[in-house]
Structure 1
Amino acid sequence: MAAFDNNTYQTNASAYFCKFNEDFKYILLPVSYTLVFVIGLALNFTALYLIVFRTKRWKPSTIYMFNLTMCDTLYLFTLPFLIYYYADENDWPFSEPLCKIIRFLFYANLYGSILFLCCISLHRFVGICHPVRSLYWVSGRRARLVSVAVWACVLFCQAPVLYFSRTSRICYDTTSPELFDDFLVYSSVVSFLLFVVPFTVVMVCYGLMVQKLLEPSWGSEGGRGTLASQRSKQKSVKMIIIVLAAFMVCFLPFHLTRTLYYAFRHIRSVNSISCKLLEASSIAYKVTRPLASFNSCVDPILYFLSGQDVWRPHVVFVSLVQ
């Protein structure tokens, strides 16, 4: 996922006198990214095959899942460069444009995944809590339009990354020291719009969905009160729990530790803050980087390899919104 400045780190400039050793990342990041690359590529290629060749009817969930899988796959292709980079201890041998593209694709994947998971959550919410209205609200055409809007939003919001990303023997994860304050403002705004807001929507939707599914009367209308509908209900509840857990494991720790680290780094540049505190936040941030990348492996596992309909993804999607 992300690069950082130096083996022996100094905040923004040597004048701030904070040095700490981070040799652990030269083992942690190459190993974790190699695992994500191998496992993620296999799972996402399988997911793409199932969607493209084994799904007869592309429902809205299928459209969102296809876009989510493409988002993950594009990011996975950047990992070999980062694996080499970190294994070589932050010595960037490639061009600056390639550094910019890799950083851009990471953040595009991160926030594209969040937004498409939000779309899937909203789709399920409508299908479960408003089944009649969903016949009008939910359609393949609307899903395609929403997907285009998501890609446009992600590309627009992440375009500044192409400006901020710089190289100086290293490929900066953030930006060059003199631009860090501007990057901090940009990153904070994007994190709020593309993480805090979607995460809140997902939490509210899943909370209401669980409440609805646990109602004794749910599934009894229209001939749904069958053993099959009960199994569908149980599977839907389990999937909601798994998605929420994965969301909080992959995305929440990364954003929390990154926010703390950026804030402490900024405070250190304008005021006094303990180097130990800055070091602790930096270590926590780096440890959560692989978790954010791991969503590329979790997405296909969640939506294809859960339950009994593993080789029939269209059946899985139908059961999830019933």
Structure 2
Amino acid sequence: MTNMDLYLGGIFVQNSTYDYGDYVYEEDCKPESRGHLEAVLYSLALVVGLLGNGLLLVVLAQRRRTWSVTDTFILHLGVADCLLLITLPFWAAQAAQDQGWSFGTPFCKAAGAIFNINFYCGIFLLACISLDRYLSIVHAVQLYSRRKPRLVHISCLSVWLISLLLIIPDYISLEAVKNARQGPTVCTHNYPHASQSVFDWRLASRLLYHIVGFLLPSAVMLFCYSCILLRLQRGSQGLQKQRAVRVILALVVVFFLCWTPYNITLMVDTFQSNYKAPEESADGVCGKTSLETALMVTSALGCFHACLNPLLYLGLCRNFRKRVLEMLRCVRGAQADSRCSLWELGVGEEALPAHEKVVLNQMTKPEHQVQSSQS
């Protein structure tokens, strides 16, 4: 009787752990079409991103003599996006080719590092802009201004330096690895297993990414915009400040819509891997687990963010849209427009109206003198 109980228990245990619903017939698995679709999406993002960021950099180049604080932040955001766009052909080739990644480990390290640099620079620069808006609207303190341009450059250079330091663990661990299941070569992190090392490098690298790169800046921005929205509801703020909050909030929301799915999936992979044996991760559909597929899809969504910021500027910033249309029509705008804000982010721009009035008065003074002499 005891043996029968053990035998029945063995049947039930085996039946409960083996899920036939996840079984996929090999003829139904078509990684080629999926890879080609991914390559097409990367190519589309590359074309749209290069056009949009190209126009952005050209407009900024035309304003290089009168750069404002906002122009500096927008320039660094655009450079980070352009760096990511340069790596998209490599990811597209990996998805489209049967052999996978064919560019070797050095290019794998560079492409993976740039991917993370784009994320770090984007979220840290948005946190700097959000902190400036919080201090300006809630506490009436101007953190950045044209009178202190050095602080702006120090902040942007610090963002790049911190980003470079944070990608060191990823740069070291990235390798072009041949799939053990006779699959294609992939550009991925190759950490030493926890049992083979005293220090768990994989867990430490992931926690650094999650906490310093995502959670802390997100908490700062959430606090800043919560206080800003409460202040705007209680008091009567100027139209310029309300418009600045609207534009920045749109940039932040789009950033998190693109990057949050990847970060959540990566968190799930981080904590799930600590309770999963290495051999268990070899099961999957078409040589990939559902979690690996989710990471691939969400990372592609993060790459799409590199082509969205110029579209937001065109849609929300009418001065930038006007300047782009004038440039495309080969029409030179008025000289006074070169000093006005194109972005309406409000960063360091509260001190501008008095200065702009002096410039405009100097420009219009001869006209008034001519009109008065004629009269």
Same fold (TM over 0.5): yes
Change (3 A) 1:241 1:279: same
2:272 to 264, 279, 297: 264
Change (3 A) 1:63 1:135: closer
- What are the within-5 Å matches in structure 2 for residues 132-281 of structure 1? 132-134=141-143, 139-169=148-178, 170-175=185-190, 178=193, 182-219=201-238, 230=239, 232-269=240-277, 279-281=289-291
Structure 2 unaligned blocks of 5 or more? 1-21, 179-184, 324-336, 351-375
What's the CA shift for 1:141? Answer: 0.9
Change (3 A) 1:101 1:257: same
Count of aligned pairs between the two proteins: 294
Q: Is 1:297 equivalent to 2:323 in the alignment?
A: no
What's the Cα RMSD here?
A: 3.2
Larger radius of gyration: 2
**Take 2:88 and 2:281, find their aligned partners in 1: how far apart are those partners?**
34
- The answer to whether the 8 A contact 1:63-1:140 is kept is no
**Take 1:207 and 1:65, find their aligned partners in 2: how far apart are those partners?**
23
- What are the within-5 Å matches in structure 2 for residues 73-84 of structure 1? 73-84=82-93
Structure 1 length normalisation: TM-score?
0.79
What's the CA shift for 1:77? Answer: 0.8
The one-letter amino acid paired with 1:188 is: L
The one-letter amino acid paired with 2:55 is: T
CA-to-aligned-CA distance 1:160-189 (integer Å, 9 cap, x gap) = 222101123423322267489522321221
- What are the within-5 Å matches in structure 2 for residues 40-59 of structure 1? 40-54=49-63, 56-59=65-68
**Take 1:303 and 1:213, find their aligned partners in 2: how far apart are those partners?**
23
**Take 2:30 and 2:216, find their aligned partners in 1: how far apart are those partners?**
33
What's the CA shift for 1:154? Answer: 0.7
Change (3 A) 1:134 1:38: same
Change (3 A) 1:90 1:141: farther
The one-letter amino acid paired with 1:286 is: M
- The answer to whether the 8 A contact 2:69-2:145 is kept is no
The one-letter amino acid paired with 2:82 is: T
Change (3 A) 1:161 1:33: same
Change (3 A) 1:188 1:138: farther
**Take 1:199 and 1:62, find their aligned partners in 2: how far apart are those partners?**
23
Identity %: 24
| Matching residue of 1:288 | 298
2:106 to 70, 73, 97: 97
- The answer to whether the 8 A contact 1:99-1:165 is kept is yes
What's the CA shift for 1:198? Answer: 0.6
1:30 to 29, 34, 39: 39
**Take 2:342 and 2:63, find their aligned partners in 1: how far apart are those partners?**
13
SS of aligned partner of 1:268: coil
What's the CA shift for 1:195? Answer: 1.1
What's the CA shift for 1:114? Answer: 1.2
